């Protein structure tokens, strides 16, 4: 048997290096039309009138009125239109689509369209939304979701406590900056709509189009084109672009290409939810015995996936810690800004930042070492989670933590601070991530994966999950080939086409390797039994949670996830004592993500995820003013370059999950969640201060240090 | 306006608006899709090409500026032995994830190694600092560069 974890060359890499892989914008077609979206220039307003200039031949302007079916993007709630009808709810909301053969002309026309608005008082912040003095955006109180759950007796814990500590944390917007901007190409042929594009979830797009065109499933075909990064940004948002492009194709009978430019992508696509998190902890005999966490997410103007993002955030509220008495309150609040959406970690990074920083502060206050303090609260096998789910598998946190400490030489560095021109600091975080869909998601999805053995004895993987860079083209091929004992090259896995593949669910929630890979693993086992040379054989497997998983979606009780991955990070920083710029020097990480399906691919996930998390904590600033983002291009919104990136050192501890393929658990999101709190702890260490907010901005540090120095004088 | 220049080793002449971006001309008139548009603002390096041997961001170059010059894109580079070394090294180092940034990196890596066959970590970081990658965290790309420097030793010094 080959070692499944042993790195192989990625199957999709050669053509990407050579520049022959075709991303959406690389598809051209004779007679194709270009599309441009006309967007709202108001934050919140009624549309009074639209003045369209006389159009040259071959050019068209398309509006919500052209939608034959329902003008709502199919998601959890029923509020987000493809194109605005009579009101707009955020600056940049799509109103019209202009299409035509010459791109410049299309842009010209789109700029010459005049829209008359009547402003409605806009809700510009979460505070304003909660005050509820202006006409609500959603429902009666602007809340897309308002949740609550409890474990143990929190009130009693507070009354018994030696000390009650309460702190508030804030996290900012984050933009994905996948290197390939969003885009779709749509065609209309004989009553059939076909869409090709950059996406994570072909069936989300398909289901959205079925409702938009009020048609049968066989009239819609969705094909993923090679996708240049997603990180959640291509989970739900592509449905809107696809819907708009498809409408253009439907109206004109021609192929329509709608590709965003970077500025459009930065300013008008979904972002990570900013959060405001209040934590109140009851401390007794040096332990946190009770905790109340209130999470408020700015969800933007439409519900999107915010309710589930909030759930994942709430279920992660106590981090990797076993706290007997827990109360978690959560609200997803509507404001007039672009809808917030999925982004690697999906609500968990906000919570993990807050709980990790809180635990640090409490440890410092008690005069305890943060690492030891955290370890004394860690989850163990047999513990129940905040929602009362059972941890059935070994939790190898002591081993993970010890390894990251020795790798980084944490204690000696922390003690003898390096002398230098810059202020040196070192920080630690430990955390978990729930694998797969949150709550009852997998049970609703009932994903199906299919393997088809062809007459030539090659085996094709038929699933709807995509490779957006995270590597399933390679890892899933390895899983199938390994079970069957055939060469990796004999496994075929094309970009999904909904005409050919079953719905194995979206490419999200770190579920592809563990859940879909698990289905393929079982399908391959069965195929191996049935194998007959030269014959075509098809095997299908459908997902069910293991019998022991119990979950109550109404009460948020039970196993919110079938399994967890774990990790610990150490980060070293140097802070400039004059400018307070933060230089992240080294990042160490140890993870338990089960059996790695390819060590190199996992390594790549770790570096990339951690750097994105480091950016989230430092450089990646996005602010809102009067309903508009101040950072509107990639020049203003800064992501780390090779000069900003630290050196990474990583290691794995592998506790296999019996239902994951070869024991694999979740990986992609786990790598992101621990970096920001570790950076924060390192900056706190360097400056000997407490911080409550990310991104950590030099200007803010300057103010804090000025105050600190004043009070010390 | 008609512009003559050398493209991937061949003399070409093409009619285009002199103000149009070199990026669009390469992609649309010549079908060179390995030149990617990641930002159109000169920030990401996905559109990198060699202009008389120097790395430029083709989204910032007005087409008229290439008159009489030599342009090499990833499509031209990939016929060379140097490219093969870089390709193999990136494959073995696991430097590629989504791959949208990769052709641009290859251009920068080629230019770096041609000038500096034995770059240090810091020099590599500087040479690729005009290329954004959101997937890899850069380290495995840097590993790839080091591998290419080693494997192509004689070539780079040639
Ligand atoms: S597209 Fe030219 S630098 Fe980004
Ligand atoms: S590999 Fe995706 S941006 Fe570099």
Contact residues, chain B, for A648 at CB < 8 Å: 137, 139
Ligand nearest to the CA of B132: 2
- pLDDT over 90 (residue B83): yes
Contact residues, chain B, for A601 at CB < 8 Å: 94
For A669-702, what is each residue's pLDDT tens digit? Answer: 999 999 999 999 999 999 999 999 999 999 999 9
Q: Where along chain B do the CATH 3.10.20.30 domains lie?
A: 2-76
- Point out the domain boundary residue: A542, A576, A605: A542
| Ligand 2, atom 3, residue with closest C-alpha | B133
Q: Give the number of domains in chain A.
A: 4
The A residues from 164 to 223 touching B (CB cutoff 8 Å) are 176-181
Query: Contact at 8 Å (CB) between A347 and A277?
Result: no
For A157-192, what is each residue's pLDDT tens digit? Answer: 999 999 999 999 999 999 999 999 999 999 999 999
For B118-154, what is each residue's pLDDT tens digit? Answer: 999 999 999 999 999 999 999 999 999 999 999 998 8
Contact residues, chain B, for A470 at CB < 8 Å: 97
pTM of the model: 0.98
CA distance A617 to A682: 11
Substitution target from B28, B134, B145, B147 for chain A, most A beta carbons within 10 A: B134
CA distance A661 to A653: 17
What DSSP string runs through A80-112? --SS--SEE-STT-EEEEEEES-HHHHHHHHHH
Instruction: Say if A577 falls within a structural domain.
Output: yes
Do B99 and A228 make contact, defined as CB atoms within 8 angstroms? yes
| Ligand 2, atom 4, residue with closest C-alpha | B133
- pLDDT over 90 (residue B20): yes
Instruction: Say if A86 falls within a structural domain.
Output: yes
Q: Are residues A690 and A603 in the same domain?
A: yes
CA distance B71 to chain A (A): 16
The verdict on the CB of residue A229 being under 6 Å from ligand 2 is: yes
| Exposed/middle/buried for residue A416 (C-beta within 10 Å: 0-12, 13-18, 19+) | exposed
Q: What local confidence, expressed as pLDDT, does residue A650 receive?
A: 98
Q: Around Cβ A687, how many Cβ atoms within 10 Å?
A: 19
A21 and chain B in contact, CB less than 8 A: yes
Instruction: Say if A8 falls within a structural domain.
Output: no
Q: What local confidence, expressed as pLDDT, does residue A418 receive?
A: 67
Q: Are residues A620 and A666 in the same domain?
A: yes
CA angle in degrees (0–180, nearest 5) for A391-A394-A398? 110
Superfamily of domain B2-76: Beta-grasp domain (3.10.20.30)
Contact residues, chain B, for A642 at CB < 8 Å: 124-126, 128-129, 131, 138, 141-142
Strand order of the β-sheet with A45-51 is A87-88, A45-51, A114-119
CA distance A379 to A331: 26
Q: Are residues A71 and A212 in the same domain?
A: yes
Q: Are residues A533 and A667 in the same domain?
A: no
Q: What local confidence, expressed as pLDDT, does residue A1 receive?
A: 67
Substitution target from B97, B110, B112, B128 for chain A, most A beta carbons within 10 A: B97
Q: Are residues A666 and A599 in the same domain?
A: yes
CA distance B132 to A614: 15
Instruction: Say if A2 falls within a structural domain.
Output: no
Q: Where along chain B do the CATH 1.10.150.120 domains lie?
A: 81-156
Q: What local confidence, expressed as pLDDT, does residue B152 receive?
A: 95
The verdict on the CB of residue A469 being under 6 Å from ligand 2 is: yes
Q: Are residues A467 and A345 in the same domain?
A: no
- pLDDT over 90 (residue B19): no
CA distance B116 to A548: 60
A324 and chain B in contact, CB less than 8 A: no
| CATH class of this structure's domain B81-156 | mainly alpha
Do A228 and B131 make contact, defined as CB atoms within 8 angstroms? no
A604 and chain B in contact, CB less than 8 A: yes
Average pLDDT of chain B is 97
The verdict on the CB of residue B94 being under 6 Å from ligand 2 is: no
Nearest CA in chain A to B43: A635
Q: Are residues A86 and A149 in the same domain?
A: no
Q: Are residues A240 and A368 in the same domain?
A: no
For A56-66, what is each residue's pLDDT tens digit? Answer: 999 999 999 99
**Closest atom, ligand 1, to C-alpha of B130:** 3
Instruction: Say if A426 falls within a structural domain.
Output: yes
CA distance B154 to B145: 15
CA distance B68 to chain A (A): 26
Q: Are residues A455 and A523 in the same domain?
A: yes
Instruction: Say if A150 falls within a structural domain.
Output: yes
Q: Are residues A92 and A156 in the same domain?
A: no
Give the structural domain span for A366: 121-174+271-392
CATH number for the domain spanning A712: value is 3.30.365.10
The A residues from 259 to 318 touching B (CB cutoff 8 Å) are 261-263
Do B100 and A19 make contact, defined as CB atoms within 8 angstroms? no
CA distance A27 to chain B (A): 9
Nearest CA in chain A to B17: A104
Q: Are residues A155 and A289 in the same domain?
A: yes
**Which residues neighbour A107 within 8 Å (Cβ) at sequence distance 6 or greater?**
A36
Q: Are residues A469 and A363 in the same domain?
A: no
CA distance A449 to A439: 21
Q: Which residues of chain A have pLDDT under 50?
A: none
């Amino acid at each position: 048997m080959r070692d499944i974890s042993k790195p192989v060359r990625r199957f999709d890499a050669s053509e990407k290096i050579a520049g022959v892989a075709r991303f959406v914008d690389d598809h051209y077609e004779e007679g194709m039309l270009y599309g441009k979206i006309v967007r709202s220039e108001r934050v919140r307003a009624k549309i009074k009138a639209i003045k369209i200039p006389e159009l040259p031949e071959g050019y068209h302007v398309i509006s919500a009125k052209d939608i034959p079916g329902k003008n709502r993007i199919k998601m959890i709630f029923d509020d987000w239109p493809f194109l605005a009808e009579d009101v707009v709810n955020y600056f940049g909301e799509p109103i019209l689509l202009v299409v035509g053969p010459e791109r410049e002309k299309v842009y010209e026309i789109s700029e010459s369209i005049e829209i008359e608005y009547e402003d409605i008082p806009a809700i510009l912040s979460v505070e304003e939304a909660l005050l509820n003095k202006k006409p609500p955006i959603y429902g009666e109180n602007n809340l897309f979701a308002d949740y609550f759950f409890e474990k143990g007796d929190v009130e009693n814990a507070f009354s018994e406590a030696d000390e009650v500590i309460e702190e508030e944390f804030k996290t900012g917007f984050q933009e994905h900056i996948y290197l390939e901007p969003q885009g779709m190409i749509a065609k209309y042929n004989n009553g059939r709509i076909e869409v090709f594009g950059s996406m994570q979830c072909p069936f989300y797009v398909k289901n959205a189009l079925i409702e938009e065109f009020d048609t049968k499933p066989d009239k819609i075909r969705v094909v993923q084109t090679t996708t240049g990064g997603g990180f959640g940004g291509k989970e739900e948002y592509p449905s809107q672009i696809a819907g708009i492009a498809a409408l253009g194709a439907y109206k004109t009978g021609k192929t329509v290409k709608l590709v965003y430019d970077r500025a459009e992508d930065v300013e008008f696509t979904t972002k990570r939810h900013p959060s405001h998190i209040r934590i109140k902890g009851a401390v007794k005999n040096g332990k946190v015995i009770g905790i109340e966490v209130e999470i408020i997410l700015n969800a933007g103007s439409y519900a999107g996936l915010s309710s589930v993002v909030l759930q994942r955030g709430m279920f992660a509220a106590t981090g990797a810690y076993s706290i007997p008495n827990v109360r978690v309150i959560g609200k997803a609040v509507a404001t007039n800004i672009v809808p917030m959406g999925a982004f690697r970690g999906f609500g968990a990074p906000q919570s993990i930042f807050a709980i990790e920083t809180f635990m640090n502060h409490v440890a410092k206050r008690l005069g305890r070492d943060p690492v030891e303090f955290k370890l004394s609260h860690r989850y163990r096998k047999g513990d129940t989670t905040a929602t009362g789910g059972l941890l059935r598998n070994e939790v190898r946190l002591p081993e993970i933590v010890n390894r990251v400490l020795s790798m980084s030489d944490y204690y000696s560095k922390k003690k003898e601070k390096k002398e230098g021109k810059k202020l040196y600091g070192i920080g630690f975080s430990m955390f978990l991530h729930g694998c797969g869909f949150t709550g009852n998601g997998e049970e609703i999805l009932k994903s199906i994966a299919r393997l088809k053995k062809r007459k030539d004895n090659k085996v094709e993987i038929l699933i709807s999950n995509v490779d957006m860079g995270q590597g399933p083209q390679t890892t899933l091929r390895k899983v199938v080939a390994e079970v069957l004992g055939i060469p990796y090259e004999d496994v075929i896995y094309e970009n999904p086409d909904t005409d050919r593949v079953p719905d194995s669910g979206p490419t999200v929630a770190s579920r592809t390797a563990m859940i879909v890979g698990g289905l393929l693993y079982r399908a391959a086992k069965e195929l191996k039994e049935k194998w007959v040379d030269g014959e075509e054989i098809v095997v299908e497997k459908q997902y069910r949670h293991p019998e022991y998983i119990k979950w109550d979606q109404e009460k948020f009780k039970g196993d919110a996830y079938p399994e967890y991955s774990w990790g610990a990070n150490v980060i070293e920083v140097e802070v400039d004592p004059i400018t307070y710029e933060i230089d992240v020097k080294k990042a160490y990480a140890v993870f338990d993500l089960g059996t790695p399906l390819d060590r190199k691919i996992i390594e790549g996930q770790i570096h990339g995820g951690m750097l994105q998390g480091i950016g989230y904590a430092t450089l990646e600033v996005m602010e809102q003013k009067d309903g508009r983002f101040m950072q509107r291009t990639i020049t203003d919104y800064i992501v780390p370059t090779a000069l900003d990136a630290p050196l990474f050192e990583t290691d794995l501890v592998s506790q296999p999950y019996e239902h994951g393929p070869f024991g694999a658990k979740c990986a992609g999101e786990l790598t992101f969640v621990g970096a920001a709190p570790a950076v924060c702890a390192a900056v706190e260490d360097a400056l000997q201060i407490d911080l409550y907010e990310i991104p950590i901005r030099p200007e803010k540090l300057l103010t804090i240090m000025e105050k600190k120095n004043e009070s010390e004088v | 306006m008609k512009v003559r220049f050398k493209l991937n080793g061949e003399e070409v002449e093409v009619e285009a608006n002199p103000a149009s971006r070199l990026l669009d001309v390469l992609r649309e008139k010549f079908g060179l899709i390995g030149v990617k548009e990641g930002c159109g603002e000169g920030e990401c390096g996905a559109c990198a090409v060699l202009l008389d041997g120097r790395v430029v961001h083709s989204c910032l170059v007005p087409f008229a500026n290439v008159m009489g010059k030599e342009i090499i894109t990833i499509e031209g580079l990939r016929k060379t032995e140097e490219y093969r070394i870089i390709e193999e090294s990136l494959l073995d180092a696991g430097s590629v994830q989504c791959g949208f940034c990769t052709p641009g990196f290859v251009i920068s890596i080629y230019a770096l190694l041609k000038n500096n066959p034995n770059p240090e970590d810091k020099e590599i970081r500087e040479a690729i600092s005009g290329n954004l990658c959101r997937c890899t965290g850069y380290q495995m790309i840097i590993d790839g560069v080091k591998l290419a420097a080693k494997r192509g030793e004689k070539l780079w010094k040639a």
